[in-house]
A = this chain, B = another copy of it.
Amino acid sequence: MPRVSRAQAAQNRERTVEAAAELFRERGVDHVSVQDIMAAVGLTHGGFYRQFESKEALLPEAARHAYDRMAARLSNLDAQAVDHTAAQRQYIQRYLSAAHRDHPGQGCPIAGLIQDITRTDSTETRDLLTERVSDLGKWLNQDGRDGLVTACTLIGALLVARAAGSPLSDQVLERVTAALTAAE
């Protein structure tokens, strides 16, 4: 079976990055094996090292992939909402939804990858996160509120909601949403 077309190989590579981005956010880099990733794409572990230097080298690629999707979502919100303030409000509400809490694999990559990025040696990966946090902070800026602070609150609340049991987990989502969407 081996030897697929160039186009097919490129698509497989892309799907590998995508699968890694999802699995890394879901379980953390350490709890995902190369086999897990390749199996998610429907391949075996063998082809991995022809496409990637190592498992670690996959982290910045996976992160970038997920960040780009996130950026696209922000643009989308701006395009659909009546104004930027409405888009911000929408974002906050979705960010602190039970759905987002319960599906980290599809969720915010900053929150999902933050622990692994804290411990990585790759400055590329760290710089990438730094830039995206900064971007998010700017996007969340409001008149009386520092967007960077809002970003930290969102990330903290999501992580706490994911770790805590009921009923606190739900309360965190509710109360932080209330605080961030209140008029000042």
A61→B156 CA distance, assembly (Å): 24
Please give the distance in Å from A178's CB to the nearest CB on chain B: 8
5 closest pairs, A vs B, by CB?
A: A156-B156, A152-B156, A152-B157, A115-B115, A155-B156
Q: Are B165 and A130 in contact (CB under 8 A)?
A: yes
A123 is contacted by which of B134, B149, B165, B176 (Cβ under 8 Å)? B165
A50 within 8 A of B: no
Binding site for B on A (CB under 8 A): 27-28, 30-31, 110, 114-115, 117-119, 123, 126-127, 129-130, 133-134, 145-146, 148-149, 151-157, 159-160, 162-165, 168-169, 171-172, 175-176, 178-179
A126 is contacted by which of B119, B145, B164 (Cβ under 8 Å)? B164
Q: Which residues of B contact A153 (CB under 8 A)?
A: 149, 152-153, 156
Please give the distance in Å from A151's CB to the nearest CB on chain B: 8
Q: Are B172 and A118 in contact (CB under 8 A)?
A: no
Interface centre among A154, A164, A171 (most CB of B within 10 A): A164
Q: Are A164 and B130 in contact (CB under 8 A)?
A: yes
A126→B169 CA distance, assembly (Å): 11
Please give the distance in Å from A8's CB to the nearest CB on chain B: 35
Q: Are A152 and B176 in contact (CB under 8 A)?
A: yes
CB contact under 8 A between A176 and B163, given known A119-B31, A156-B154: no
Q: Are B148 and A175 in contact (CB under 8 A)?
A: yes
Q: Which residues of B contact A146 (CB under 8 A)?
A: 175, 178-179
Q: 21 A-B pairs, CB-CB below 8 angstroms?
A: A28-B115, A114-B159, A114-B163, A117-B163, A118-B163, A123-B165, A126-B163, A126-B164, A130-B165, A130-B169, A133-B164, A133-B172, A134-B168, A149-B175, A149-B179, A151-B156, A152-B153, A153-B153, A156-B157, A156-B159, A159-B159
